[in-house]
Each structure stands twice: as structure tokens, then as C-alpha cells.
Structure 1
Amino acid sequence: MTVLYGTEHRALQDERDTRRLADLWQEMLIHGELAADEQAFIAARDMFFLSTVDARGNPTVSYKGGQPGFVRVIDATTILFPDYDGNGMCLSLGNIAQNRAIGLLFIDFETPHRLRVQGEAEISRDPDLIAAFPGATLAVKIRITDAFVNCARYIHRYEKVEQSRHAPAANGKQPIAEWKRIDLIQPHLSATDRPEAEAAGALSMDEYLQKVAARQS
């Protein structure tokens, strides 16, 4: 289990007289293996937030979404998630290749409930593993070092929202991202993406923005 608190944490805890409480939480809540209910919770999610760190120590956070169950629990200390088609920047994957330390935040906005997971990640190009996630380009395997439930009192509560139509279906298919149709962007697309984007028809930036506005209205 990771030692959570450093000098600055302790200073702030002492300033607020919460050192005893912080020690209690670390003793009671922080654990290195997922309990059965935590495994089930992760396996039922259709989204999570992923935190990674680049080679310079700069953090970033991204949203990952898919069909319910797109994060696979292999065992109490191992989970997998797919890398789907993105914007080509590869920020999260590049960071993982540089620095394997990651954090994941799983949230249920209906209950509400949240689970934090920290661990070490590695990118997998194993075709059999990738094939287990229809629509995936790569897979990410995580060895869990710490997991803990946080107080959910500040989570905004929502009824079930509409799932993204771009979450890959069981056959791995998904609609083209309409930003790939923008005429200024098409010449810069990969050789894989360009034919589909051209077949869908080019959009000017104004036309694209109008489509976005219409969808949001």
C-alpha cells in the first residue's frame, strides 16, 4: 500500500487538526485489492476519469467512456480498459508510455457513489487482448496499488443520461466523428480515417459548428 501523506499533507492536517482522522482513513479505507463489490461496481461503469503524468511531471485528466462493462476486471489487482479512436494526440497513452503511474475515478451519478483507483499501467498491443474490446485500437492493463471509496456527498445527482452514440457497439462499429469531416482537417487525417471522412462528405467549419449547435439545442 502506498504511503499517502508527505510533509505538506501533514502540515495541512495539523493546521486543521485532522491528522488523527487522516490516519484513520488510511488505515480503514486504503487497500491494495478490489473487494467483490468494488469489482462489480467497476464492471458496471460506462465511464471514468483517467489521470496521467507526462515526462516533465505535468498531469492531465481525460474522460473515458464506452458501453457498460468496457472496463474489465481480471482479478482483485488487475483491470483492463480499451483505447478507442480519438483525436490522434495520444496524450494519455503517451504519458503512460513515459510514466506508468495513473489514477482512475469511477463515479455513479445516480446513487451517488465513487471509487478511486491508483496503479501502474502498461500499453498492450496483444491482438487477442485488443480483440476482447470491439472497436479498440489498443488495450491498457493496470496493476492496482491502491483503491478506496470517497465520501459522495458533493457528487451532483443525476438520473441516467443518454449514452453517447459513439460508444462502440458489440461489433466494434461507431459513427464517424463529424469533426473528421471538416475540410481543413481532412488533409491531416490518417490514411485509415481519410476514406471514410471523404465518403461522408466535407463540412466547412461553419457547417460543423451549426451541426454541433443543433445537436445541443
Structure 2
Amino acid sequence: MTVIYGPDHRALQDEHDSRRLADLWQSMLIHQELAPEEQAFISSRDFFFLATVDAEGKPTVSYKGGGQGFVRALDPKTLAFPGYDGNGMFLSAGNIAENRSVGMLFIDFETPHRLRVQGEAELVRGGELVSSFPGAAYAVRVAVTDAFVNCGRYIHKHARVETSRHVPDAEGKQPIAEWKRIDAVQPHLPKRDKSPAEEAGELTIEEYGAKVAEGST
């Protein structure tokens, strides 16, 4: 088990008379292997939030989405998910390459329910794991260090609306991102994106802004 509470955690717990409660939760809830029902919950999700940290200790958090089951439990201590086409910054992937510590938050807004997973991640740039995710540029394998269920009382409850049209299909195909059509962006696109962007037609930044406003991106 990783060290959960440091001196500052303990000081706050003592300030609010919650040390006993915190110790109870650590002994009851925090575990190092995913239970079958937790693996099933993760595989039922089509999005999660990923927290990563760079080499200087600066954190970032990002939303990761895909088809249902795009995050897989390879075994009770290992998760894997694909890296799809993004904005080219590779913030999360670059952070993982520098600092393997990650946090993953899985939420069901309909129940509501949430599961937190912490672990050590690694980038996988090729091979069977990557090819098993159609449309993936790479994959991330996460060795689970801690997992625990959080109280869902502050989760705003709502039903699903619709799946993003940009999620890769069974062959890995997906429509071009509208921002790649912006005239000021096109000269800077990777070679693989230039022809599809040109075929889709250029947009001015104002035209792109209008599409964003109408929700058609």
C-alpha cells in the first residue's frame, strides 16, 4: 500500500477531528487489486478523467473518452487504455514518459457512482496491445497501486445524451477534427492530416468559433 496520509493530511484531520474516520476508510476502502465488480464498472465506462504530473511536479488533468470498454482491466492489478488522435501537445503522454504516477477517476452520473484508481503508468508505442485498440496511436498500461470507491453524494445526476461522433469506429476511422480545418492551423499540421484537412475545406477562426457555438464540432 502506498503512503496515503502525510503530515499535512494528519494536521487537517486533527483540526477537523477526522483522524479516526480517515484511518477507518484507509483500512476498509483502499485496496491494491480491482475487484470483479470494479473491473466490470471500469469496462462499462466510455470516459474517465486522467491526472498526470510532469518532471517538475506540475499536475494536469484531462478528459479521456472512447467507446464503451475502451479502458480494459487486463488483470486485477493492470489497466490499459488507448491514446487517440489529439491536439499534438501530448501533455498526458509526455508526463507519463517523465513521471509514471497517474490518477484515474471513473464516474457514473446516472447512478451516481465513482471509483478512483492510482497507479504507475507506461507508454506502449506498438505491438498487440496498441493494435487491439482500433485508431490508437499508442496505448497506456497502468499498474494499479491503490483503488477506492468515493461517496457519490455530490455527483450531479443526469442521463446520457449521446456518444461523440469522433470516437474511432471498429476500423479505427473517425471524422477529422474541425479545428484542423482552421486556415491558420493547417500549415502546422502533421503530414498525415494535411490532405484530409484540405479535402474537408478551410475554415476561418471566426467560422470555427461559430461551429463551436452551435455545437457542431
Aligned to 1:19: 19
Aligned length: 216
Q: CA RMSD in A?
A: 0.8
Report the AA paired with residue 87 of structure 1: N
Q: Does 1:30 align with 2:7?
A: no
Deviations 1:55-94 (A, max 9, x none): 1100000000000000011000001000000000000000
1:215 Cα deviation from its structure 2 partner = 2.2
Any idea what SS the aligned residue of 1:49 has?
Answer: strand
Using the TM superposition, name which of 204-213 and 59-68 deviates more: 204-213
Report the AA paired with residue 95 of structure 1: N
Aligned to 2:175: 175
Q: Does 1:138 align with 2:154?
A: no
Query: 1:49-88, aligned counterparts within 5 Å?
Result: 49-88=49-88
Aligned to 1:150: 150
Any idea what SS the aligned residue of 2:40 has?
Answer: helix
Instruction: Give me the whole-angstrom Cα distance separating, in 2, the residues matched to 1:22 and 1:85.
Output: 40
Aligned to 2:5: 5
Instruction: Give me the whole-angstrom Cα distance separating, in 1, the residues matched to 2:130 and 2:14.
Output: 48
Instruction: Give me the whole-angstrom Cα distance separating, in 1, the residues matched to 2:127 and 2:193.
Output: 20
Instruction: Give me the whole-angstrom Cα distance separating, in 2, the residues matched to 1:98 and 1:199.
Output: 37
Query: 1:191-202, aligned counterparts within 5 Å?
Result: 191-202=191-202
1:171 Cα deviation from its structure 2 partner = 1.4
Aligned to 1:96: 96
Any idea what SS the aligned residue of 2:85 has?
Answer: coil
Report the AA paired with residue 4 of structure 1: I
Instruction: Give me the whole-angstrom Cα distance separating, in 2, the residues matched to 1:127 and 1:136.
Output: 11
Report the AA paired with residue 208 of structure 1: Y
1:214 Cα deviation from its structure 2 partner = 2.1
Instruction: Give me the whole-angstrom Cα distance separating, in 2, the residues matched to 1:196 and 1:128.
Output: 27
Using the TM superposition, name which of 167-176 and 54-63 deviates more: 167-176
Instruction: Give me the whole-angstrom Cα distance separating, in 1, the residues matched to 2:88 and 2:26.
Output: 39
| Percent sequence identity over aligned pairs | 67
1:127 Cα deviation from its structure 2 partner = 2.7
Report the AA paired with residue 84 of structure 2: Y
Deviations 1:158-192 (A, max 9, x none): 11121111111111111100000000000000011
**After TM superposition, where is structure 1 displaced by more than 6 Å over at least 4 residues in a row?**
none
1:136 Cα deviation from its structure 2 partner = 0.3
Aligned to 1:40: 40
What is the TM-score normalised by the length of structure 1? 0.98
Aligned to 2:188: 188
Instruction: Give me the whole-angstrom Cα distance separating, in 2, the residues matched to 1:180 and 1:147.
Output: 38
Aligned to 1:161: 161
Stretches of structure 1 that go unaligned for 5 or more consecutive residues are none
Instruction: Give me the whole-angstrom Cα distance separating, in 2, the residues matched to 1:185 and 1:152.
Output: 41
Any idea what SS the aligned residue of 1:140 has?
Answer: strand
Instruction: Give me the whole-angstrom Cα distance separating, in 2, the residues matched to 1:179 and 1:115.
Output: 33
Instruction: Give me the whole-angstrom Cα distance separating, in 2, the residues matched to 1:215 and 1:4.
Output: 41
Any idea what SS the aligned residue of 1:160 has?
Answer: coil
Instruction: Give me the whole-angstrom Cα distance separating, in 1, the residues matched to 2:214 and 2:149.
Output: 39
1:210 Cα deviation from its structure 2 partner = 1.4
Using the TM superposition, name which of 4-13 and 165-174 deviates more: 165-174
Instruction: Give me the whole-angstrom Cα distance separating, in 2, the residues matched to 1:211 and 1:24.
Output: 50
Using the TM superposition, name which of 159-168 and 17-26 deviates more: 159-168
